[in-house]
Amino acid sequence: MDHLVRPLSPVAVVLDLGAGPGSFSYAGTEARVLALDVDFPDAAQGAWARVLGDSGAIPLGEETVDVVVCNHTLEHFPDCRQAIREIDRVLRPGGSLWVAVPDSGCLDDRLYRYLFLGGGHVNLFSLASLVEAIETGTRLRTRSCKKLYTGFVYLNPPDPGKVQYYPPRAQLLARIPSRILRTLLCWMNYAVRVLDRLLRTRLSQYGWGLVVRREDNSSRPVTDLARLRMEAGDANVCFACGDGHVEATLKPFRVLFRTFYKCPNCGTRNPMSPLRESSGSV
C-alpha cells in the first residue's frame, strides 16, 4: 500500500480506519494522516489528527479523503457493509482504498481463531466475498489484488505482562521455552513455503490485499475474479515482527547450505523463502 500514500502531496488526506497504534508508517507520506478508532493505545504514532469514532459513522464530510487505509481491520468491524458505505461516501471521486484482510479458509487464520477464541474476527472473508462486499451498492471497484503471506507472528513467545489476558489455549505458548518456540516458528514458516512450492498448496498465505478505486463513471462490478490483476506478493515475512519483503530488496547470505536474510525491520535472521512470486491472474 506504500505506493498509494507515498506520492501524495502535503494537502492530501489519508484516513487510517481502525488505526490502533497506526496501521502503517505515517512517516512514509507527506499527506495529512487522520487516525480514526474507538480507542487509541498510549504508544500510538503521532498523526495529523486523531479522531475517536466508529467505522459505521465516520465523522467526516462527503468526498473529503484521498486515500482510505483499512489494514487488517475490516474483519473486526461490527457492521462491515455499513463501514464500506461510509468509505464510499468520504472518498473523493478517483480516490483509493487499500484493504488487507485474512482469508478465513487459510491455515493462518484458522489457527489464530482456534487459539484466540475467534480473535475478534467477526467477519470471515474469501476473495470472492470480499470483492462482493466492497463493490455491491457502492462506486468502489477493485483494481488489483495481492496475495499476503503469513509469518505466524502470533505464535511467538507471549509478553509475560500480557499472557494473563490470553485465552487458555494461547497461554500454552508461554509453557514452551522461548528459544525452542522461536526456532520451531522460524522453520515452520520455511516448511509451509516449501510445501506450497512443491504441492501448490497455500499454507503460507495469510489473506488478500486489494487496491480499490472510487469510480463514478462506473464500470460494472468485478464479478469475474479471473480478470483481476494479480500483483506479486512479498513471500519473505519475518517470523519475529511480521514485516514482509520482496527478495530483491534483501541481502542474502549463506550458512551451510541454506540462504538467509536479516529482517530490515528487526534484524532477526530468517531463511529466504523458496517461493517465486510473479504477477498474473488470480
Decide whether 30 or 243 has the Cβ nearer to Zn ion. Answer: 243
List of E strands, 176-272: 205-214, 229-231, 236-237, 244-245, 253-255, 258-262, 269-271
The closest alpha carbon to 268, from 212, 257, 245, belongs to 245
Q: Which residues bind to Zn ion, rule: CB under 5 A? A: 238, 240-241, 243, 263, 265-266, 268
Least separation in angstroms between CB 265 and Zn ion: 4
Outline where 14-139 has alpha helix (H): 80-90, 107-115, 127-135
Least separation in angstroms between CB 221 and Zn ion: 38
Q: Which three cell numbers stand for residue 22?
A: 497506526
Least separation in angstroms between CB 148 and Zn ion: 16
Decide whether 201 or 265 has the Cβ nearer to Zn ion. Answer: 265
Tell me which amino acid residue 55 is.
S
Cβ atoms within 10 Å, residue 93: 11
Decide whether 84 or 238 has the Cβ nearer to Zn ion. Answer: 238
DSSP letter string, 162-193: TGGGS-HHHHGGGGS-HHHHHHHHHHHHHHHH
Least separation in angstroms between CB 250 and Zn ion: 11
Decide whether 33 or 263 has the Cβ nearer to Zn ion. Answer: 263
